[in-house]
Amino acid sequence: MSIAEPAPSLSPLALALAAAGPIAIGGILAVHGTSPTPLVAVPAVVFGVVAATAPALYIATAAAGTAPSLATVVRAFGVAIGAFGIALAGLLLPAAFLSLSSTSPSTTFVVATAALGGAGLLALRRLGKELAPARVTSLTSGTVFLVWSAATLGIAGRLWWDLAKEVMS
Amino acid sequence: MIAAVPAPAPSFGLIDQLLRDRDAMLAKIAAGRDLASIMRVMVATIAIAMAIVGAAIGSYRGGVQIGYAAIKLPLVLLGTAALSAPALTALGAALGRRVRLAGDLALVVTALAFGAMLLAACTPLILLGRAMDVSYHSMVLGLVGMFAIAGCASLRMIVHALSLENGPGRSSSIIGLCIVFALVGGQLSWALRPYLVRPRAQDVPFVRDVSDTLVDAITGTLRSARGIYVRDGAPLPGEH
C-alpha cells in the first residue's frame, strides 16, 4: 500500500481482524499451555464482556440525558471493535515472536496481556472519540464513560486472569 | 579545462542524503516518493553496514565467529524493522491515522539504516579495542554504549518523522512503536546471541538454545546483584 489511505473505520476487514485477533492470541497461549481452551475462551472473554457491558453504557448515558442516538452508539461500538482488531493485528507479530523466543510461560502471559490490553485501551479511546461529537459533553457523561470503561476493563481483566492462571498452571 | 564530475549513483545519493539531510529524506518518505528504491537502498545499507560491524565484533574471538556475527547482526536490524513497522501502522490506524504500511516500513528501515551507518562509523573503535586487547567486559560495555547511541538516534529519527504529521493517532503510534521497537529489538538481539565471544572460547554456537527473555535475564542479574540466587552454586566444568 504505497498511497496513503484514510484509516478504515467500520470496514469488514477491521471487523474480521477483530474476530481473528483474539483467536490468534488464544493460539499463542495454547502453544505454551496444556490445552486448546484459550482458542475459544479468549474471544469469548473479549466479545462476551463487550456484549454484556455495552447496553449499560447506552442506558446510563440515556438516563443521564447525554446519550446520542442508538444507531450512533451501535456504529461507535462497531468502529471501536474494528480499531481493536487493527491494533491487535499490528501487535500479534511482535507478541508471537516474544512468546516463542522464550521458554517461560510468564513471558507468554505478560506479552499476551500487553497485546490485548493495549488494543483494548486504544479501542476505548476510539469509542470515546466516536461518541464525543454526538453526545452532550458534560461532567456527567465523562464520568459515566470513565466508570463504564473501568468496569469493563476490570471484568475483562478478572476473567483473563482466571483463564491465564488455569492455562499456565 | 574542467573535467565533468560524474553524478553519484542514485543509491549513494540516497545514503548521502540520509547522512546530510534527513529532513529531506523524511519529506520524501512522507510524500510516498521513490519508496521502492529507498527500501532497496536502505535494506542493502543495513545488510552491508551491519555485516561490517558484526565482522569487527566477531574478530575479538576470530575464526568462524567473524562470519557468524556478520550474518546475525543484519538479521537483527531487518527483523526488528519487519516486526515493528506493522505495529506502527496498526496502532495509528486504530485511532484514525492514515494507513500507509509501505511508508511506515520505509521510515523504520531508513531510521535503522541511519543507526547502522553510525555503528559502522564506530568500527575503528571496535578494532582498536581488539588491537589493544581490551578486556571482555570492557568491550561489552563499550559495545552496549555504541548500540545504545545508534538505537536512540534511529528512534529519534522515527519520532521526529511522526511528530511532523498532522491528524489523530500520532502520539499513540509513537508510544506504541517505542515500546514494540525496544522489546522486539532487544529480544531479537538476545535470541541471536552470541556476537562478542571471549578469545579463548573453544566452541562457538551460531545461536544459543531458546531460554529466558532479555527481561528475565536482566531481572535475574538484578536479583543476583542483591544477593538473591535461585541456585546454590554455579555448575562446575562438566556439569550441567
* Cβ separation A97–B184 shorter than 8 A: yes
Of B4 and B167, more confident = B167
Asked if residue A2 is part of any domain, the answer here is: no
Residue of A nearest to B84 (CA): A94
A97 contacts in chain B (CB < 8 Å): 83, 184, 187-188
Task: Tell whether the model's pLDDT for residue A5 goes beyond 70.
Answer: no
* Cβ separation A87–B90 shorter than 8 A: yes
Q: Cell triple for residue A99?
A: 512468546
Measure B135 CA to nearest chain A CA, in Å: 30
Asked if residue A6 is part of any domain, the answer here is: no
Asked if residue A56 is part of any domain, the answer here is: yes
Our CA angle for B24, B29, B32, nearest 5°, is 130
For residues A36 and B111, what is the distance between their CA atoms, to the nearest angstrom? 40
pLDDT of amino acid B208: 81
B36 contacts in chain A (CB < 8 Å): 2
Q: How many domains does chain A have?
A: 1
Q: Is the ipTM of this complex over 0.95?
A: no
pLDDT of amino acid B231: 63
For residues B92 and A7, what is the distance between their CA atoms, to the nearest angstrom? 9
Asked if residue A96 is part of any domain, the answer here is: yes
B84 contacts in chain A (CB < 8 Å): 94
> Which of B40-54, B132-146, B190-204 is modeled with the greatest confidence?
B40-54
pLDDT of amino acid A14: 86
A89 contacts in chain B (CB < 8 Å): 86, 90
Taking only residues 100 to 119 of chain B, the set having a beta carbon closer than 8 angstroms to any beta carbon of chain A reads 100-103
Residue A104 DSSP symbol:
-
Task: Tell whether the model's pLDDT for residue B147 goes beyond 50.
Answer: yes
Mutate to test the interface with A, among B97, B99, B104 (most CBs of A within 10 A): B99
pTM score, two decimals?
0.79
pLDDT digits (tens, 9 = 90+) for A15-52: 888 889 999 999 998 887 778 888 999 999 999 999 99
pLDDT of amino acid B238: 57
Mutate to test the interface with B, among A31, A81, A91, A125 (most CBs of B within 10 A): A91
* Cβ separation B97–A98 shorter than 8 A: no
Measure B36 CA to nearest chain A CA, in Å: 9
Of B240 and B39, more confident = B39
pLDDT digits (tens, 9 = 90+) for A118-157: 999 999 999 998 888 766 667 788 888 999 999 999 999 9
Q: Cell triple for residue B85?
A: 513497522
pLDDT of amino acid A1: 39
Asked if A117 has any chain B CB less than 8 Å from its own CB, the reply is no
Asked if B34 has any chain A CB less than 8 Å from its own CB, the reply is no
> Which of A62-71, B85-94, B112-121, B210-219 is modeled with the greatest confidence?
B112-121
Torsion, Cα A159 A163 A166 A167, to 10 degrees, reads -170
pLDDT digits (tens, 9 = 90+) for B189-225: 888 888 888 888 888 888 887 777 777 777 777 777 7
B166 contacts in chain A (CB < 8 Å): none
Least Cα distance to A116 among A159, A74, A146, A54 occurs for A159
pLDDT digits (tens, 9 = 90+) for B75-88: 999 999 999 889 98
Domain range list for chain B: 10-201
| Mean pLDDT computed over every residue of chain B | 86
Residue of A nearest to B35 (CA): A2
B29 contacts in chain A (CB < 8 Å): none
Residue of B nearest to A85 (CA): B94
* Cβ separation A4–B32 shorter than 8 A: yes
Asked if residue A100 is part of any domain, the answer here is: yes
pLDDT digits (tens, 9 = 90+) for B96-114: 888 888 999 999 999 999 9
Domain that holds residue A22: 12-168
* Cβ separation A119–B94 shorter than 8 A: yes
Mutate to test the interface with B, among A11, A122, A129, A130 (most CBs of B within 10 A): A122
Distances, alpha carbon B214 to alpha carbons A29, A58, B81, B191, in Å: 20, 45, 19, 8
pLDDT digits (tens, 9 = 90+) for A74-87: 999 999 999 999 99
| Mean pLDDT computed over every residue of chain A | 86
* Cβ separation B213–A101 shorter than 8 A: yes
Asked if A79 has any chain B CB less than 8 Å from its own CB, the reply is no
Measure A32 CA to nearest chain B CA, in Å: 13
Q: Provide DSSP, chain B.
A: -PPPPPPPPHHHHHHHHHHH-HHHHHHHHHHT-SHHHHHHHHHHHHHHHHHHHHHHHHTTT-THHHHHHHHHHHHHHHHHHHHHHHHHHHHHHHTTPPB-HHHHHHHHHHHHHHHHHHHHHTHHHHHHHHHTT--HHHHHHHHHHHHHHHHHHHHHHHHHHHHT--STTHHHHHHHHHHHHHHHHHHHHHHT--SS--TT-S---SSPPS---HHHHHHHHHHHHTT--SSSSPPPTT--
